[in-house]
Amino acid sequence: MATAGAPAAGEGALDADFAGYLQYARAQQRLSPRTLALYGDGLARLQALLADAGIAPRTLGLTQARRLAARLHREGLAPKSIALLLSIWRSAYRWLGRQGCVALNPFDGLRAPKAPKPLPKALGVDDAVQLAAYAEPAPEHPALEARDRAIVELLYGAGLRSAELLGLDAQASGTAAGWVDLQAGEAHVLGKGGKRRSTPLGQAAAQALQAWLQWRPQLAAPGEPALFVGARGGRLAGSTLRAMLGQRAIAAGSPAHVHPHMLRHSFASHLLQSSGDLRAVQELLGHAHITTTQVYTQLDLQHLARIYDAAHPRAKK
């Protein structure tokens, strides 16, 4: 069954069927040496698991394959590592099926457990307030400074997505994706899925926007509807927004690399810490499902855990 040629990594210790697949992968799929080594290790691991369970490779069934995957999970293997092994094993048994060695592929449809989503990164309350309150001393371009302060206030004070902020127009109209009503103290935005929502503006955000609107005519090109414009007068680009915020955060002494969505995460986390009202936070963020908002409860618990570790006498290690 095996093709001629030097054995690949791990081939000498493998069952003949698995060694045959590894030679096929090397000759026909032209895998890199590193990938071949990973395949060899993966097949060796499967062979050891089968031997431990007293199962011959050609007799492996669906239920037994599921038990093998469950065992990997119980042993603490990461979901990505389990997914890699299952992919290797699935490919090997697909090849064995084409050779007429097995009637079915026991790993077809078998998926690794989902990896937990990483928690969103948020600034601490003091760091976020420090960034929002930062003012460039003796700015070379006062108009840009006023614009940037208003942007930070809207991102943190209203929890806007960067696309929602960049889509704001200076005036409400039938074609505007979003606008700010300073008299009512509200921002009207077009969120994900084309859903419109309104979010209140705090006093600091409203004052920063009023200051920017006084400077905006000096930057905006004639007829430009965008609320926030770049140095050339057109609607501000996302790349310019990210670069500006990163530089401003450094100047303000922020302890982490700050991007626009981090301020949205900070808005949600700090609001939840203060109010505990998950439904209200969901509405303000424009989340269609409460499960999306619930991730911030984990951030809140982390915050409480840090307070406990720092303050409780029985928390000392």
Q: Is 161 a catalytic residue?
A: yes
pLDDT per residue as tens digits for the range 118-174: 656 778 888 888 999 999 988 899 999 999 999 999 999 888 889 999 999 999 988
What domains can you pick out in the chain, each with its CATH number?
11-98 (1.10.150), 125-256 (1.10.443.10)
Q: Is 303 a catalytic residue?
A: no
Average pLDDT of every residue of the chain: 84
Of the listed 26, 147, 188, 264, which one is catalytic? 264
Q: Is 192 a catalytic residue?
A: yes
User: pTM value?
Assistant: 0.58
Of the listed 45, 90, 121, 161, which one is catalytic? 161
Rounded to whole angstroms, the Cα distance separating 130 from 137 reads: 15
| Helix boundaries (H) for 134-237 | 142-158, 162-166, 203-219
Helices 142-158 + 125-133 axis angle, to 10: 150
Q: Is 308 a catalytic residue?
A: no
pLDDT at site 297: 59
The residue ranges of the chain whose pLDDT is under 50 are: 1-11, 301, 304, 307-308, 312, 314, 317
Q: Is 264 a catalytic residue?
A: yes
